[in-house]
Amino acid sequence: MHTKIKPIYKRVLLKISGESLQGKKDFGIDSTFLNRIIKEIKILISFGIQIAIVVGGGNLFRGSCFSDLGINRIFADNIGMLSTIINGLAIHGFMSKFSINSYLMSSFCIPSICEVYNREKAIKLISNNSLVIFTGGIGNPLFTTDSAACLRAIETDSEIVLKATNVNGVYSDDPKKNSNAIFYDSIRYKDVINNKLKIMDSCSLILARDYNLPIRVFNINKHMSIYKAALGIKEGTLIYHR
């Protein structure tokens, strides 16, 4: 059945938010969710699509929670970045469960559990159809894992960032608060930035725009949405240049 499928992308970077990993739980990692998405990823790998993953940490800790802790934002962001490594370890473990050859890299040096990020090694691994999981964000506070996704995608020559979230795509306004919010099938970077549409932080959008990296935002909770997004089948919103 799969032999007729001709993928339009050879290499994609999948950004999985921490919130998505939470699945139906209030906190942490939902194994039912991971089992489901890894099955989709396995099909894509069988088509020869090369996949790297950047994972967020919002299910465990966000730097913006710093005021709750009463500590400096920089400490809080470091906690946030470490939480992405915990998520990466969980994804890596599930990949192993499904016999997918995966490597865990981090912007931080924690040699007993993962490799430190190395662009050349990552490209070699991805080119050999191993799945590489990038964790630790960009390794600096005051950024987000969306910036890390765009950065690592550009560094490793991915053709697109597939931003998996809990929303269907980009809207003119928050659809939960405004029932007249317009959904966009596609939208230019500059319109997202100029209209301050809250889908990603402006740093990551500007990086993607400057390096002409398209981003597809889609709802990971929809059945086979990663599969469709990676195959270029209409799913969510495409953010593009012109």
Runs of H (alpha helix) within 13-160 = 18-21, 31-46, 66-69, 73-97, 119-127, 145-155
Does 143 participate in binding ligand UDP (rule CB under 6 A)?
yes
Residue 182 is classified by DSSP as: P
Task: Check residue 33 for interaction with ligand UDP (CB under 6 A).
Answer: no
Q: Which residue is nearest to ligand UDP (CB)?
A: 56
Cβ nearer to ligand UDP, comparing 18 with 209: 18
Amino acid at 17: S
Residue 37 vs 231, nearer CB to ligand UDP: 37
**Number of other residues whose CB lies within 10 A of the CB of residue 103:** 18
Lay out the site mask for ligand UDP across 79-118 (x = CB under 6 A, - = otherwise).
-xx--x----------------------------------
Strands 50-55 and 131-135: parallel
The answer to whether residue 137 forms part of the interface with ligand UDP (CB under 6 A) is yes
Amino acid occupying residue 20: S
Tell me which stretch binds ligand UDP (CB under 6 A): 5-13, 124-132, 137-145, 174-182. 137-145
Buried b (16+ CB within 10 A) or exposed e, 123-148: bebbeeebbbbbbbbbbebebbbbbb
Q: How far is the CB of 210 from ligand UDP (least distance, A)?
A: 18
Closest distance to ligand UDP from the beta carbon of 198 (Å):
12
Which residue, 12 or 149, has its beta carbon nearer to ligand UDP?
A: 149
Q: Which tokens belong to 48?
A: 């020869």
- Piece of the chain touching ligand UDP by CB under 6 A; list 14-22, 30-38, 183-191, 224-232: 14-22
Count the Cβ atoms, other than its own, within 10 Å of residue 69: 11
Name the residues that contact ligand UDP, by CB under 6 A.
17-19, 56-58, 62-64, 77, 80-81, 84, 137-138, 140-141, 143-148
